[in-house]
Structure 1
Amino acid sequence: MEWFKNIYEWLLSLFWSTELDITLLGLQNAGKTSLLKAICGSDFTPDSIPTVGFAMKRVKVGRVTLKCWDLGGQPRFRSMWERYCRGVNAVVFILDSADPSTFDTAKTELHSLLEKESMEGIPLLVLGNKNDIADAIPVDKVIQTLGLKEITDREVSCYSISVKEANNLSAVLKWLIANRKT
């Protein structure tokens, strides 16, 4: 019977599979690469090497393949963000919710990007990462801090997560699949 199930799944994937382009953004050390590794099934490692430029990985989730662009968050790479957001199904913006020194810059960079004409209508998922740290701000403060209620021209959601503890990662995947721009 197992072979029948495998053939059935394979046939379904031929006719009913989807590929979504997703861009992961945020300032340096927010957890973008760690999130991508976690989505791919790897264990958390605290000594991740910062992304230089960009990296791309494909992740299969059921009948959906996520093509994820992980973009560097250092100031010299932020001018590239728009280029890798054009035509994507969703943008994921990750904030280190335990580092208040980055909040103003994160808000400025996010709103500057969303003002670009090429970004029109692309759904946005904001993740307040590192909720396992005692000083991390809760999701309602992430919404307030980044001015997410000011963004009215697209679907916007915000979750509090911890990549390290794998908190809320399944909700992230469900959101990406359900709220993508088609």
Structure 2
Amino acid sequence: MGLFTWLWDWLLYLFWSTEMDVTIVGLQNAGKTSLVRVLAGQDFTLDSIPTVAFNKREVKKGHVSIRCWDLGGQVKFRNMWERYCRDVNAIIFVVDAADRDAIVVAKDELHSLLGHETLEGIPLLVLANKSDVSGKMSVDEVIEGLELKRVVHREISCYGVSAKEETNLEAVLQWLVARSGK
């Protein structure tokens, strides 16, 4: 049975594999890098160092290979977000759901990013990370805080996730895979 499964997976990859690009943005310390590490099958770690410029990592889900561009969230890197979001299958915006004070800045940065004509129509996935922390914002609070209802002309989804507890990460991968052919 193992050989048949391996052969089937190899044939799927060889003849029906799909590649997609996603860009992951958000303010510093939102947990973008930790999220990508866990999605790629690595262990969660608390001692991630801040991303300088960007990291590229590949995540495989079935016959889909997802190239993830994890961009730095510090102010000095935010001006490059738009460049890396062009021509991707989806934009992932990560919010630290435990940092209520940062939601206003996150909203401003998100709306500034989405205001670029070059990004029109690209699906947006908002991830309220750190859902395992007590006192965190609910998904509804994140939607309201980011004013997502103002965003038009694009598909938007929002999930509460935890990179540490691996909460809802399968749903994130399924959402991405569903957009791999677009």
Q: TM-score range by the shorter chain?
A: over 0.9
- Matched letter for residue 119 of structure 1: L
What 5-or-longer segments of structure 2 have no aligned partner? none
Deviation (angstroms), 1:180 = 4.7
Structure 1 residue 88 corresponds to structure 2 residue 84: no
CA separation of 1:153 and 1:181: change in aligned 2, threshold 3 A: farther
**Which residue identity does 1:79 align to in structure 2?**
N
- What does residue 10 of structure 2 align with? 10
- The residue identity in structure 1 corresponding to 2:102 is T
Residue 175 of structure 2 aligns to which amino acid in structure 1?
Answer: W
For structure 1, the 5+ residue unaligned runs are none
Deviates more, 1:6-15 or 1:86-95: 6-15
User: Cα RMSD over matched residues?
Assistant: 1.2
TM-score by length of 1: 0.96
Moved over 6 A (4+): none
Q: Supply the distance in 1 between the matched residues of 2:24 and 2:138 (Cα, whole angstroms).
A: 21
CA distance 1:9–1:179, change in 2 (3 Å): closer
- 2: CA distance, partners of 1:6 / 1:131: 36
Letter in 1 for 2:74: Q
Are 2:122 and 2:154, in contact at CA under 8 Å, matched by a contact in 1?
Answer: yes
Which residue in 2 is equivalent to 1:22? 22
State the SS of the aligned residue for 1:164: coil
Q: How many residues align?
A: 182
Matches within 5 A, 1:51-66: 51-66=51-66
Hey, what's the Cα distance between the residues in 2 that align with 1:125 and 1:180?
14
Deviation at 1:10, TM superposition (A): 1.4
The question of whether the paired residues in 1 share the 8 Å contact of 2:96 and 2:129 is answered with yes
- Tell me if the contact between 2:18 and 2:181 (Cα under 8 Å) persists in the aligned partners: no
**Where does residue 104 of structure 1 map in the other structure?**
104
